[in-house]
Structure 1
Amino acid sequence: MAIVRPFKAYRPQLDLVEKVAALPYDVMDSEEAREMVKGKPYSFLHVDKAEVDLPKGIDVHDKQVYLKARENLQKMISDKVYIQDKEPCMYIYRQIMDGRSQTGIVACASIDDYIKDTIKKHELTRADKELDRFNHVDYTNCNTGPIFLTYRHKDEIDDIVKNWTETKSPLYDYKSEDGVSQIIWVINEESIINKLSDIFAKTDYLYIADGHHRSASAVKVGLKRRKDKLSYTGDEEFNYFLSVIFPDNELYVMDYNRVVADLFGNSFDEFMNKVSEKFHITTFDGIGQFKPEVQRTYGMFLEGKWYKLEAKEGTFNLKDPVERLDVSILQKNLLDPILGIDDPTTNSRIDFVGGIRGLGELERRVRCGMKVAFSMCPTTMDDLIDIANAGKTMPPKSTWFEPKLQSGIFVHEL
């Protein structure tokens, strides 16, 4: 049983939404954010990465950053950049990229569902990143970026969404700077809101697709508020966090590829011989780059050529949802034993390239100093859900979702 409920969103004035909405805080660094906000006084990055309004070199975890985020958000509210809906609503959020759409429900999910594992996870979180978002939520008293949740799609929800979007005018309809259409409808009819809540209440689980650190920090803020308010009822807004909930069959996971700086002391022949013990190797004679379309198959760009790698029997375990992942097979049989990448999260010799940048980026990275690149099949939504259901965690850099949810369209006050 998943609790999904409406909320009184703070949202931008109609004529300002394009100027306010921004990419999520964790897809750029501080210097990139400083460039992105130039000439954009309404950009939500002034809240999500408030160091852009403080001297260069400031520690992004400094208390002044969180105080500035609070100040900037409150100014946007007092200046009427944001308005607040008078009654709790749900919203429909549709994104269209390259002709493909995904449509989710914007609502609040329960911190208790997170604690009870009704909201399932598939990644470990880092304490420093959790603390950063904890402070951001605590100081601003708001969830400023939605958690990207998913569920096994239900025809009942599809029908409600279809009927609403075909018969109602959207609240917002614009294209973001990356060319993605962002379309939002407000659901302000209590009967429809209740129907959606009832359907989700019959849903066994929700799954975090993206936003593990934001959700973990939102839960910790909620628990802190409970401790500070011993007479809490459970109905306070701090018991819930901002989410966009998408059906699993509409989500698009892109490949998340790897580049490595050197061959770990191996000559070309030594490296190829070692790889051939675990993978069948053939030279790719096609045009362009080799993009794998079958699981347990990889592209490898080395010495100006593309090769096709196929994992041999015995290199994977189909019964284990983690070990059967392509990222696990590559890590266990090649990156670690042959290239010495024992921990891809800390080893500086490996880097990761999201599929949105194309395989040409792998070639460019190799020609600019890296030694070898690997193209991969995307992890599937079934993989993600199977791993979460098994209570296991995915290897690092397993999923790359596109398009990214914009921040600043909705703010949930605690």
Structure 2
Amino acid sequence: MAKVNPFRAVRSTRDKVALVTTRSYDIYKKKELNDILRLNPFSFLHILRPGFKFHKTVHGTKRFKMVHNRYNEFKENGIFQNDAKPTYYLHQKSFNGDVFWGIIGLASLEDYQNNIIKKHENTLSEREALFGNYLEVTGFNAEPVLITYPDNTFLTSLIEKYRTLRAEYEFTTNKNRTHLMWLIDQEDEVAQISEAFSNMPSLYIADGHHRTASSNFLYEKLKEGTDQKARELSEHFMAYFIPESSMRITSFYRFINDLNGLHKKEFLMALDENFRIQKLGKRYYQPSKMHHFSMYLDGEYYKLYLRKSNFSPETVLDHLDSQILFKLILEPILGIKNPSTDTNIHYLPETGNEMQLQQLVDSGEYKVGFGLFPISVKQLKTVADNGLTMPPKSSYVEPKLRSGLTIYELK
């Protein structure tokens, strides 16, 4: 059964939280990042890019140590404070009419190793080691893994109760995302939350496979060591637990640099073997069901419908549209053998701009683009339950939580 624990988070004071928390570091473009660092002394980005104050870029272990130093400075200056007792953090995020909510707590790496916390993506050992070393040197984790669970009546009742109460945090970002967070630290409710999770046979990683694997890397490194406190702290990792009904999954566009030496007509003829093709001209098309694909090529949209007569799935993975696209188009026609590393393919989430497929191909940056119907939560769980892994970028999951909202200390 799943073990989910409360913890004493380090977090911003109420008056500065909107200034402190950030989106994920790698999302920022260089100009926006530098503008924030120049104008906002409270931004968590100062911790993540510690060389800014010295007008110098640092790398590797030296950077990790400076991240640790900047973090300690935020604590010394009273920007960050420790909560007094173990707490669950009830968080709500809303934008564009969507409302997401979940509970921030600690997940167990024993549960991860025992497949109670299930995964659906492979990870790269180099990245596991890199971020695992980052966690060890910096001594904190500031970005939770997104984990989903089957809807639970008691846990749902908490959000209904706390929405009527004053939130500890309430702020809206410049991207028009509104965040609220309540602290649940009453012993009876804390115990009930822990019990609710303990009755769940499985939890599922929705986003953050590398973060989880990196925490596991550190756990394995420290568990035979002599530092008992570090060993015990490394047994857990911070996670944002959301009910399945509060999760939204969209797809990633696939953009291809070239047609593997094929002319347009040759490419379309190759597609015809496994797909019915309908040319739409300039009329925008978004797939409305499984096994339907959109394609933008040479100034025109196309519908691609999988020919069911040729469809012979052998595993649950073969039903995924990302796998179908790879097995029937990307690999055999476009010569893409490894969709994780091949430089001929690029991915962008299907969020915010429905014309993105057309615009990036018309610009000449790419030769062709593909759109997919999103996978379902059921598909995600089925793949994980069968011990399989999806092709890269099979799902883009919301919500995304702010970095630095709650911090789990590892020292």
TM-score bracket for the superposition, by shorter chain length: over 0.9
Corresponding position: 1:209 with 2:206: yes
- Describe the superposition over 1:105-143 as per-residue Cα deviations: whole angstroms up to 9, x where unpaired: 111111111111111111111122212221221112111
Distance 1:36 1:233 in 2: 34
**Distance in 2 between the 1:112 and 1:317 partners?**
38
- For the structure 1 residues 299 and 123, does the alpha-carbon distance in structure 2 shift closer, same or farther, using more than 3 Å as the test? same
Equivalent residue number for residue 407 of structure 2: 411
Change (3 A) 1:393 1:30: farther
Instruction: State the match for 1:248 in structure 2.
Output: 244
Alpha-carbon offset, residue 413 of structure 1: 1.2
| Secondary structure of residue in 2 paired with 1:123 | coil
Gaps of 5+ in 1: none
Structure 1 contact 103–246 (Cα < 8 Å) conserved? yes
Q: Offset of 1:315 from its aligned partner?
A: 4.7
Give the secondary-structure state (helix, strand or coil) at the position aligned to 2:100: strand
The residue that corresponds to 2:166 in the other structure is 169
TM-score by length of 1: 0.93
- Which whole-Å CA distance do the structure 2 matches of 1:278 and 1:126 have between them? 32
1:282 aligns with 278
Out of 229, 242, 245, which is 2:226 matched to? 229
Find the counterpart in structure 2 of residue 396 from structure 1: 392
1:11 paired residue number = 11
Give the secondary-structure state (helix, strand or coil) at the position aligned to 2:357. helix
Rate the CA distance shift 1:6–1:315 in 2: closer, same or farther, 3 A.
Answer: farther
Corresponding residue to 1:334 among 318, 329, 333? 329
1:146 alignment partner in structure 2: 144
> Which AA in structure 2 matches 1:200?
F
Q: 1:133 to 1:316 in 2, by over 3 A?
A: farther
Aligned-residue CA RMSD in angstroms? Answer: 2.0
Secondary structure of 1:38's counterpart equals helix
Structure 2 CA distance for aligned equivalents of residues 28 and 317 of structure 1: 43
User: CA 1:149/1:26 → structure 2, altered by over 3 Å: closer, same or farther?
Assistant: farther
CA apart distance, 1:23: 0.9
- Structure 1 counterpart of 2:260, one-letter code: F
Paired residue type of 1:136:
Y
* C-alpha displacement of 1:47: 2.6
1:345 aligns with 2:340: yes
Q: Note the C-alpha offset of 1:31.
A: 7.3
Change in Cα spacing, 1:314 to 1:391, as seen in structure 2 (3 Å) is farther
Identical-pair percentage: 29
Q: 1:387 to 1:35 in 2, by over 3 A?
A: farther
Amino acid at match of 2:398: E
Distance 1:196 1:278 in 2: 49
Deviation larger for 220-229 or 293-302:
220-229
Residue 234 of structure 2 aligns to a residue whose secondary structure is helix
**CA–CA separation in structure 2 for the residues paired with 1:402 and 1:48:** 23
Paired residue for 1:200? Answer: 197
- Once the two structures are superposed, residues 195-229 of structure 1 have per-residue CA deviations (whole angstroms, 9 ceiling, x without a partner) of 01001001011111111111111122233332223
How many residues are treated as equivalent by the alignment?
A: 409
Report what 2:383 is aligned to: 387
- Asked if the contact 1:261/1:371 (under 8 Å) is kept, the reply is yes
Kept in 1: contact 2:24–2:403 (CA 8 A): yes
**Preserved CA contact (<8 Å) 1:291 1:299:** yes
How far apart are 1:310 and its partner, in Å?
Answer: 0.4
8 Å CA contact 1:92, 1:104 repeated in 2:
yes
Q: Is the 8 A contact 1:345 1:396 kept in 2?
A: yes
Letter in 2 for 1:250: S
1:56–1:324 distance in 2 versus 1, CA, 3 Å: farther
Give distance in 2, aligned partners of 1:150 and 1:341. 32
Contact 1:147 1:208 in 2 (8 A): yes
Equivalent residue letter for 2:303: K
Q: Does 1:267 align with 2:263?
A: yes
Picking from 66, 75, 78, the partner of 1:77 is 75
Q: Structure 1 residue 311: deviation in Å? A: 0.6
Q: Deviations over 1:146-196 (max 9, x none)?
A: 111111111221122222322x21110111222111110110111001001
Asked whether the 8 Å contact 2:251–2:372 carries over to 1, the reply is yes
Q: CA deviation at 1:34?
A: 3.9
Judge conservation of contact 2:167–2:182 (CA < 8 Å) in 1: yes
Q: Could you say what secondary structure the match of 2:332 adopts?
A: coil
Q: Could you tell me whether the CA contact under 8 Å between 2:146 and 2:207 is conserved in 1?
A: yes
2: CA distance, partners of 1:256 / 1:342: 19
SS in 2 for 1:178: coil
Residue aligning to 2:124: 126
Maintained 8 Å contact 1:263/1:339: yes
Cα shift at 1:403: 3.6
Is the partner of 1:351 in helix, strand or coil? strand
| 8 A contact 1:226–1:232 mirrored in 2 | no
Alignment match of 1:218 (pick from 212, 215, 220):
215
2:45: which partner in 1?
45
Q: Secondary structure at the match of 2:155?
A: helix
Cα 1:361–1:71 shift into 2, 3 Å = same
